[in-house]
Chains A and B, each alone.
Chain A
Amino acid sequence: MVKVTTTTDEAALIRRILAGETELFHELIRPYERLVYVTIFAILKNETEAEDGAQETMINAFRHLKSFRGEAKFSTWLVTIAMNEARKRLRKGKVTAEDSLDATIEDHEGGDYTPTVLTDWREIPLEALEKKELREKLHDAVANLPEKYREVFVLRDIEELNQEETAAALGINVTLVKVRLHRARMMLQKALVPYLQNEVAPRGSFLRRWFA
Chain B
Amino acid sequence: MNLDCKHVWEHISGYLDRQLDPEVLAAVEKHLESCEVCSAVLDSTRNVLVLTADDRTYELPVGYSERLHDRLTVVIRGGRDFGNQ
A residues apposed to B, CB below 8 Å: 18, 22-23, 25-26, 29, 33-34, 37-38, 41-42, 47, 51, 54-55, 58-59, 62-66, 112-124, 129, 134-135, 138-139, 142, 157-158, 160, 178, 181-182, 185-186, 188-189, 192-193
Contact = CB atoms under 8 A, between A and B. Distances in A.
- Chain A binding site: helix, strand, loop or mixed by DSSP? helix
B57 A63 contact: no
17 contacts: A22-B76, A25-B76, A29-B72, A33-B65, A38-B60, A41-B58, A54-B68, A63-B82, A65-B83, A66-B84, A119-B40, A121-B43, A124-B47, A124-B50, A139-B58, A158-B53, A192-B51
Contacts, number: 134
Interface of B: 6, 9-10, 12-14, 16, 19, 36-37, 40-41, 43-45, 47-54, 56-58, 60-61, 64-65, 67-69, 71-73, 75-76, 79, 82-85
B58 A158 contact: yes
B47 to A, nearest CB: 5
Nearest to B81: A63
Nearest to B45: A189
> DSSP majority for the B interface?
helix
Contacts of B56: 129, 135
A149 to B, nearest CB: 12
